[in-house]
Amino acid sequence: MFARLRSPLAVLAAALCSASLLAPLPALAAAKGDTFPRAVLWKIDKPGVKPSYLFGTAHVSDPKVTQLSPQVQKAFDDADTVTTEVRIDFNGMMDFAKRVLMPEGELLTDQIDTKHYQKLLPELAARDYPEVAAKRMKPWAAAMLLMVPKKKAGDLPLDLMLAKMAIEGGKEYTGLETISEQASVFETIPADKQKTLLYALIDQQPDVDAYYRKLVAMYVQRDVEGIVRFADKDEVTLPAADQAFFNDWKQKTLIDDRNDRMAERMQPQLLKGGSFIAVGALHLPGKTGLVAQLKKQGYTLTPIDDRKRK
């Protein structure tokens, strides 16, 4: 199955996940007053239940990210069930393909100008999305793709790699959200805002690339607080009114609502025990983050420092 998922669809699925790592998130500002450990791996304990693990990921294919530490590898190997944000399967991906394309007869060039369309095409091609697929893409989907760093051919983003390892290892594999639910997060963006965001990402792509490199460096050091502080900076410059809209959208729709949904849906895995649950790292910190929510539910969470020592 995963040979087929090394495709434009898999790239776009990673793009949807990546928005929560590559976007400024004012909702997490509350975490600044607290000290969040330098950890993306957390052990979850409850009396009488086999321990589970919560792993904060970066949804990218950079080898510095996809090379699992011994601690993460052991937590994964010991797990009976592996859960990612979404379960990636062929049927879900085909359904998702329909969600990102405009109706037959409508083209992206009907919604954006020729200059930006021509600048967009090589950026999408560098992300394994040729013009034959891109020409009917909805603006929000093209924007999400531009938030995914360019990758080498054949490299899988971390979440897809974990899913592949789970299936090939004979583990139970589940998802906390459906692909349709993740797509709906972006479909709620008004059409004019989608266009503004897409233009900014096209025009300011070098800034996005630099933004990504800094975030990856902080992720490798497990500097979640640093990522939160850095995420307050905008990867692209938007008009004030549009920026205000996206700040509110990111806080409620992209992070808070999804944190609540994921915290609820991981309960069966946690009660059963022996689970390895992988979600974007910025779903972990903050008052509404998964670490705080699980503690309130009576679980004991212990951070595991898996940084490489020089």
Residue 310 lies inside a defined structural domain of this protein = no
**What is the per-residue pLDDT for 83?**
97
Q: Is residue 75 part of a domain?
A: yes
Residue 236: predicted pLDDT? 79
Residues 104-139: tens digit of each pLDDT: 899 999 999 999 999 999 999 988 888 988 899 999
Predicted confidence band of residue 208 (pLDDT cuts 50, 70, 90): confident
Residue 258: the pLDDT is 94
Does an H or E element contain 43, and which? strand 41-46
Look at residue 171 and tell me whether its pLDDT is greater than 90: yes
Q: Is residue 20 part of a domain?
A: yes
Residue 113 lies in a domain: yes
Q: Around Cβ 258, how many Cβ atoms within 10 Å?
A: 23
Query: According to the model, what pLDDT value does residue 22 have?
Result: 45
Average pLDDT over residues 30-58: 87
Residue 309 in domain: no
135: region left, alpha or beta (phi > 0 left; psi from -120 to 50 alpha)? alpha
Q: Is residue 164 part of a domain?
A: yes
Angle formed at CA 250 by CA 185 and CA 10, multiple of 5 degrees = 45
Number of domains in the chain: 1
Tell whether the model's pLDDT for residue 169 goes beyond 90: yes
Computed over every residue of the chain, the mean pLDDT equals 85
Under the banding of pLDDT at 50, 70 and 90, the label for residue 6 is very low
Is residue 87 included in any domain, yes or no?
yes
236 compared with 169, residue with greater pLDDT: 169
The reply to whether 66 falls in a domain is yes
SS3 track for 115-158: HHHHHHHHHHHCCCCCHHHHCCECHHHHHHHHCCCCCCCCCCCH
CA 98 to chain CA centroid, Å, is 20
Give the pLDDT score at 221. Answer: 95
**pLDDT score recorded for residue 265:** 97
What is the percentage of the chain residues whose pLDDT exceeds 90? Answer: 53
What is the percentage of the chain residues whose pLDDT exceeds 70?
Answer: 86
The average pLDDT across 260-284 equals 96
State residue 182's pLDDT score.
Answer: 85
The mean per-residue pLDDT over the stretch 28-37 comes to 59
pLDDT for position 88: 76
Q: What is the pLDDT of residue 223?
A: 94
| Residue 295 predicted with pLDDT over 70 | yes
pLDDT of residue 250: 84
43: confidence class by pLDDT, cuts 50, 70, 90: very high
For 236, the domain range is: 2-304
Q: In 169-266, which residue ranges form alpha helices assigned H by DSSP? A: 179-187, 191-203, 205-220, 224-231, 240-249, 257-265
Q: What is the pLDDT of residue 27?
A: 39
